[in-house]
Chain A
Amino acid sequence: MNILKRITSDTRFPSLGLALGSACVLGVLVPGAVLWLAHLHATFGIDIHARLKPPTFAHWLGTDPLGRDTLAFSLVGAVNSYGISYLSMVLALGLGTGLGVLAAAAGQKTKIIANGVVELGIAFPPIIIAALLVTLCGAGVVQEICALAIFFIPGFVRLGQQAAANIYAQDYIAAARLSALTPWRILLRHVLPNMVPGLLVQFSVNVALAMLAETGLSYLGLGAPPPLPELGRILASYQVHIYDHPHLVAVPGVVVVLLVLGTNMVGDGLRDRFARQEHIS
């Protein structure tokens, strides 16, 4: 894919942020994914006799109130939380950008509908949306993903509409029309490819924001229901021990910070890289 090549093969601008950000995210997610796969077969050993143990060679950061390995449990939670944020952003990107591009390409009516979606969406914070969905359909992964996606759709509608409208105003679109290209072909050949860099940046920044929102939801118990570990709920369950075992809360806390910060740095790094490429060439 051409955009991947633009990001990876371009060594003119070595980016510290991009490298550091990727390291933070991958450093959490790669071991997390390995543990997550192992966790599929055997549930985390709850061992009441080994609860709240200090760090050992077997359990690097000790065990939690139910005798589970604190670090491993948090890493698995991180994979779940990140996966949920990521999927919800894929959903929001697809639906939001799709509606935005349609609004830019089509007539006034679609524009009014898109604006309505934006105004309506902005009026509801994610907690209200999630609470509503949980009340109506019960708690679950799907509901959580939908709640996050609904909250982020308006932003993508707006971005998609602006970016597409900008491109539709360019003379090369007029030239394509003069060459008898159909509107559909113009969309696929000219409009979407030129939107990719902007969307990619917005996407990665929004994954970080969604990650924060997701942690908040699961902290409040509006996320996926228990056996599935999620960072927010892990944090909430460790919080009772903040006076006797303060290091416990720090583990999921630091994991959240690493993921959000790392993802943000990747987003910023991408933005810089694209901006400089446009500028130089």
Chain B
Amino acid sequence: MTELLAVQNVSFSRSGGRGNTRPILKGLNFEVKPGETVAIVGQSGTGKTTLAHILAGLMPPTSGSVRYKGVETQHLAHRQNRSLRPDLQMIFQDPYSSLDPRQTVSAIMDEPLWARALDDGQKQKRVSDMLHALALPPESLGRRAHEFSGGQRQRIAIARALVGYPSLVIADEAVSALDASAQARVLNLLLEQQQQTGLSLVFISHDMAVVQHMAHRVIVLADGAIVEEGPTGQVFANPRSAHTAALIQKDLWKDTNV
């Protein structure tokens, strides 16, 4: 078994009341290898965030399975798997919803480290390294989340995802709320972590330039199904589906207009 995350035949439907169900995801199959970055792209409304929640084990798929190191992610919180749970972290899209407004940064950073066997000194060192890497001043530790701006909050949320030595991070539009320089800093930090610790990334984005910079492989999602999958270079140079071509085109067109 070489893959870290194995997605097998995952479907998800939402019940629309009166027995109607609306399919969101349709029979997805893919895998993520250790140290690999897989980008999932697609227009909004194609179920990317739903997929992110299912991959992270926050909700069960309607059918199919997502396995992390052989354990279904929806069962990662069970007692016997609890030591695996902090391995798999997520960076959320909305920096206002993703941080408890009344928690201090130090309390926020503490949570992913609870399940880790580290002494207090090591934890402190790790937290201050992370804050430094994300250009957050050390004195922010004592301040509460609601005192920070949106961009700062997103960086705190990213620090929280990375601080507990995860082996897989699912980043759901993680950098779209950041300005260009903060974006570059975060992306470089992710690449650096990947080189140092063999971190795997599932990178969900609609920003094709960022995807091209980060990903080893690209999965293109349309209407809840995979329309194209392949190495990044190949997908960008020679897209096989019209949908992918349109996504890339639209992005280039946007860039030339800015």
Q: Does B129 contact A (CB under 8 A)?
A: no
Would A172 and B146 count as touching, CB distance under 8 A? no
- B117-151 interface (Cβ within 8 A of A): 146-147
Q: Does A176 contact B (CB under 8 A)?
A: yes
Chain B residues with Cβ below 8 Å from A180 are 77, 82, 85-86, 114-115
Q: Does A15 contact B (CB under 8 A)?
A: no
Q: How many A-B residue pairs have CB under 8 A?
A: 62
Chain B residues with Cβ below 8 Å from A9 are none
Would B102 and A194 count as touching, CB distance under 8 A? yes
Assuming A180-B85, A180-B115, is B90 touching A174 (CB within 8 A)? yes
Q: Does A278 contact B (CB under 8 A)?
A: yes
Q: How many B residues are at the interface, by size bracket?
A: 20 to 34
Q: Does B188 contact A (CB under 8 A)?
A: no
Assuming A171-B92, A281-B146, is B101 touching A177 (CB within 8 A)? no
- Alpha-carbon distance A148/B136, docked complex (angstroms): 52
Would A181 and B111 count as touching, CB distance under 8 A? yes
Given A171-B92, A193-B102, A194-B102, 8 new contacts (CB under 8 A): A172-B97, A175-B90, A175-B111, A175-B157, A180-B115, A194-B100, A194-B101, A281-B146
Task: Name A residues whose Cβ lies closer than 8 Å to a Cβ of B.
Answer: 2, 170-172, 174-181, 190, 193-194, 278, 281
Task: Name B residues whose Cβ lies closer than 8 Å to a Cβ of A.
Answer: 53, 56, 58, 77, 82, 85-86, 88-90, 92-94, 97-103, 111-112, 114-115, 146-147, 157, 160, 164
Chain A residues with Cβ below 8 Å from B93 are 171
Would B98 and A175 count as touching, CB distance under 8 A? yes
- Alpha-carbon distance A176/B108, docked complex (angstroms): 9
The 4 lowest CB-CB distance pairs between A and B, nearest first, are A180-B85, A171-B98, A171-B92, A171-B97
Q: Which residue of A lies closest to B92 (CB)?
A: A171
- Alpha-carbon distance A2/B146, docked complex (angstroms): 15
Q: Which residue of A lies closest to B83 (CB)?
A: A180
Would B100 and A172 count as touching, CB distance under 8 A? yes
- Alpha-carbon distance A275/B92, docked complex (angstroms): 26
Q: Which residue of A lies closest to B90 (CB)?
A: A178
Would B114 and A181 count as touching, CB distance under 8 A? yes
Chain A residues with Cβ below 8 Å from B94 are 171
Q: Which residue of A lies closest to B97 (CB)?
A: A171
Partner of B86, one of A170, A179, A190, A193: A179
Chain B residues with Cβ below 8 Å from A176 are 111
Would B115 and A179 count as touching, CB distance under 8 A? yes
Would B101 and A179 count as touching, CB distance under 8 A? no
Would B99 and A172 count as touching, CB distance under 8 A? yes
Would B100 and A190 count as touching, CB distance under 8 A? yes
- Alpha-carbon distance A170/B147, docked complex (angstroms): 18
Assuming A170-B97, A190-B100, A194-B102, is B85 touching A179 (CB within 8 A)? yes
- Alpha-carbon distance A176/B86, docked complex (angstroms): 10
Chain B residues with Cβ below 8 Å from A278 are 101, 146
Q: Which residue of A lies closest to B107 (CB)?
A: A189
